[in-house]
Amino acid sequence: MTEATDLAAAAGSTDPGEGLRAVAALGRLLESLESLQVHHARAKGWSWQEIADELGVSKQAVHKKHAGRARGASVPTSGREL
C-alpha cells in the first residue's frame, strides 16, 4: 500500500484520534500536491485562468494562494514531511 492509501484507510477509522490525524495528514498531502502541480503548470506556460479552471476555483483565488509560492519558493516533492 502507498502512504496515501494508508492515510485514506486510517481516515475511515472508528478511532477518532487516528481518523482525525489521518484527515489532517491528507489535507497537508493535498496542499503539497496542489502546489506541485500548479508549479508544473506555470513552468509549462499555463495561465492562472487555465489553472483555476482545472481546479474549479476563480483565477483570483488560485493566484492569491499560489503566486507568492511561484516566485522562487521551493516546491515540496513528496509527502514524506507529513
**Strand (E) or helix (H) holding 33:** helix 16-43
User: Is the model more confident about 67 or about 80?
Assistant: 67
Please report where in the chains the cell 503566486 appears, as a residue.
67
Specify the pTM.
Answer: 0.75
What's the pLDDT tens digit per position in 15-73?
999 999 999 999 999 999 999 999 999 999 999 999 999 999 999 999 999 998 755 54
**Angstrom distance (rounded) from CA 2 to CA 39:** 24
At 66, list the grid cell: 499560489
DSSP string, 41-77: HHHTT--HHHHHHHHTS-HHHHHHHHHHHHTT-----
Residue 16, classed as helix, strand or coil, is: helix
